Chains A and B, each alone.
Chain A
Amino acid sequence: MALFIYGTATNTGKGFFTAEDRRNFFLRGYPGNVWVVGNTEKGALWLAEKNGVEKTKAEAQAIVNAEVTAAQAAWDALPEEQKNRPGSNQRPTAITLP
């Protein structure tokens, strides 16, 4: 059985996930409203209750990749002065889902 469930859901703010949720199952958020949830009854129920759309790992990774690519393009378009300023954002790097 796979360790995780992948899906997209919109973070509605307060109560979207609770401390109890965090204690009950694995939960991580990623760019593109992608959420990785522990593959347990409670994890699956959480994603369903948040009107989440379940994705395959490849589909979820593709969404994250698209977000990273867009962020990289935005960074590449920055003026050199802004890129080189001390403390400026580094060029976004790839994110690999667990």
Chain B
Amino acid sequence: MTTYNELAGFRVNYVSSDPTLNSGNEGQVWYNSTSGTLKALVQIKSWASGGNLGTARKQFAGAGTQTEALGFGGEDATVISTATEEYNGASWTAGGNLATARYTLAGAGTQTTGLAFGGYNNVTYQVATEEYDGSAWTAGGSLATGRQALIGTGTQTAGLAAGGYNGTTNVANTEEYDGSAWTAGGSLNTARRYSGSAGTQTAGLGFSGNTTVVVPNTEEYDGSTWTNGGNVNTARYSPAGAGSQTAAIGFGGFSTANTGATEEYDGSVWTNSTSLTTARRYIAGCGTRSSALAFGGFTTTVVANTEEFTSSINVTTAAAWAAGGNMGTARRDLGGAGTQTAGLAFGGLTTTNQSATEEYDGSTWTSGGSLGTARREIGGAGTQTAGLGFGGYTTSTSGVTNTEEYDGSAWTGGGNLGTARYAPAGAGTQTAGLGFGGAVPSASNATEEYDGSAWTGGGNLATARFRLAGAGTQTAGLAFGGQTTVSLANTEEYDGSAWTAGGNLNAARKGLGGAGTQTAGLAFGGFTTTNVANTEEYNGTSWTASTAMTTARRYLGGCGIQTAGLAFGGRTTVDVANTEEFTGAFDTATASTLTTS
């Protein structure tokens, strides 16, 4: 039997426990003497669906990265296209149009410094080059040889064009772009069209393609000469390529049929990888070997499908809500504070205003000391053992100013708010609290800061609102959602003195729950024109949809952090006692056990 030592030239590490499972040990093989197993940390490769192109098309060009991609030109179901689309990692939006409509063109560069060259418009084999600045294309220097289905790679100021078809024959000549003009480079060894491309002007890669038959040949360019590399396993024409000369990926195309076959190149050998979900030819692509993007192409019709390739040692576990223990008293419009495993709920409304406090330990709610003033729509901040409740609605139409402080067993009176209000949001701690917004009874933009004994005025919200959510601290606060006369999507960020605009919620709503920090916020539930279960995560710039709650509801309580949130109470068609616990998405590196079979 062949041993690993003979195969690989070195011995397998003999260890009593697994090494740290991080990228530093990626590809390592070891023998765990404790479990008696041979193990390895291997990459997990997958294609996942992305947002569809706005316009299905084929034989177009791609550039950029998986999260900042550019697709342009090609042929849609009816016409040769000038259209450009830009991808942000989730969806495509329209960019500026090419001046010259064409298909089978080549592309290079980035989303904001793109390069389009060559192609065909059913009349002329194109020499035209165009340069993209993120919004518009302008003319660049022309190719010496008009051609379609060419190899294209590099950057806007260091582009590479090779091979293709000039209307008479496949060509082998190479041209290099310097940002203004093309000059001749060394010729391909095998003239061909519809090859895949990757790399740079001085380290380029062309693979497979069509002579009179599909060929598996790979060639590597060093800035002056093409030399043969390893053959692809599945010869094909019109694949897409991405990455570098020594770390490339090729996918899609047509062999004897449309193929989704994906192969990875290490500079000498192509290795089969995970196939595209949708086999197709005339596909566009961009990105890197470990993070590629495939989009568009032709199955039996032009398609808009986008797929994202990921190669990682980590398995991502999706975010999810799980049921927590039910509250003792079902209620809505309650206050909340603390964490997922040390939560605090107080006040609220059943058929009457509530003073009851309940404490959560991660599984069960138990009664705590009652508020001195029963009320609903109360603001909350702090922790389970140092909570803060302020404002709210008793019978006064303008709300109340009362503040109360919780010590883990009893509430005592604190300093009154400067402005009586109900349905405000809160953030921070018992000794460095922040209260903002609310109804007086019209929507308020007032912010107040608490120091443990008194409230003082802070900077006003730009948008007055109530039934909003809050998160963060007194010097790094976050306000989101709520209502004026309509539900809002607005987010504002507080720096200790002033509010500035943040990214909008995807779903405008009021009466939502909130948790987290200014740069890692969590929004859940609420009311649009109906109760919603939507969950969104904030990264300091924008909100991203996450896994929905199980029970849609409004006027609920919330606390915790972005990766461990807690939602409790609220109203569906009735007041509910339901608790849900949010666990954010997380990555896990897992060692694989190797077998001899």
Contacts and interface: CB of A to CB of B under 8 A. Distances in A.
Contacts of B483: 87
B573 A71 contact: yes
A16 B377 CA distance: 29
A19 B530 contact: no
Contacts of A11: 323, 326, 578
A93 B324 CA distance: 27
A31 B321 CA distance: 18
B31 interface: no
B439 A19 contact: no
Interface residues of A, number: 30
Contacts of B527: 90
Interface string A2-26: 0000000001111111111111000
Nearest to A11: B578
A98 to B, nearest CB: 12
Contact of A86 (B317, B323, B439): B439
B318 interface: yes
A96 to B, nearest CB: 10
B385 interface: no
A13 B555 CA distance: 19
B79 interface: no
A30 B326 CA distance: 16
Chain B, interface size: which category? 35 or more
Contact of B573 (A17, A67, A87): A67
B544 to A, nearest CB: 18
A28 B322 contact: no
A92 B573 contact: yes
Contact of A14 (B364, B443, B550, B583): B364
A47 to B, nearest CB: 14
A29 B567 CA distance: 14
Contacts of A16: 323
Contacts of B303: none
B122 interface: no
B441 A85 contact: yes
Contacts of A87: 377, 422-423, 439, 441, 466-467, 483, 510
B139 interface: no
Nearest to A16: B323
Contacts of A19: 320-322, 581, 583
B273 to A, nearest CB: 26
A88 B263 CA distance: 60
Contacts of A29: 550-551, 578
B367 to A, nearest CB: 16
A27 interface: yes
B363 to A, nearest CB: 5
A85 B404 CA distance: 25
Contacts of A30: 551, 572
A68 interface: yes
Interface string A52-84: 000000000000000110110000000000000
A19 B421 CA distance: 37
Contacts of A12: 326
Nearest to B529: A93
A67 B574 contact: yes
A37 to B, nearest CB: 11
Interface in B563-591: 571-574, 578-579, 581, 583
A95 interface: yes
Given A28-B533, A87-B377, A22 B364 contact: no
A61 to B, nearest CB: 14
A92 B527 CA distance: 11
B579 A13 contact: yes
B88 interface: no
B397 interface: yes
A27 to B, nearest CB: 6
A14 B323 contact: yes
Given A22-B550, A28-B550, A90-B527, A17 B466 contact: no
A68 B552 CA distance: 14
A1 B434 CA distance: 53
Contacts of A31: 572-574
A59 B439 CA distance: 41
A4 to B, nearest CB: 14
A68 B56 CA distance: 43
B317 A23 contact: yes
A68 B548 CA distance: 22
Nearest to A28: B550
B547 interface: yes
B412 interface: no
B325 interface: yes
B442 interface: yes
A29 B579 CA distance: 12
A89 B571 contact: yes
B322 A95 contact: no
Contacts of A15: 322-323
Contacts of B325: 13-14
Nearest to A70: B573
18 contacts: A13-B324, A13-B326, A13-B579, A15-B322, A16-B323, A19-B321, A19-B581, A22-B320, A22-B321, A27-B550, A28-B548, A28-B551, A67-B573, A86-B441, A87-B439, A87-B510, A93-B530, A95-B573
Q: Which A-B residue pairs are the 5 nearest by beta carbons? A: A19-B320, A71-B573, A29-B551, A16-B323, A13-B326
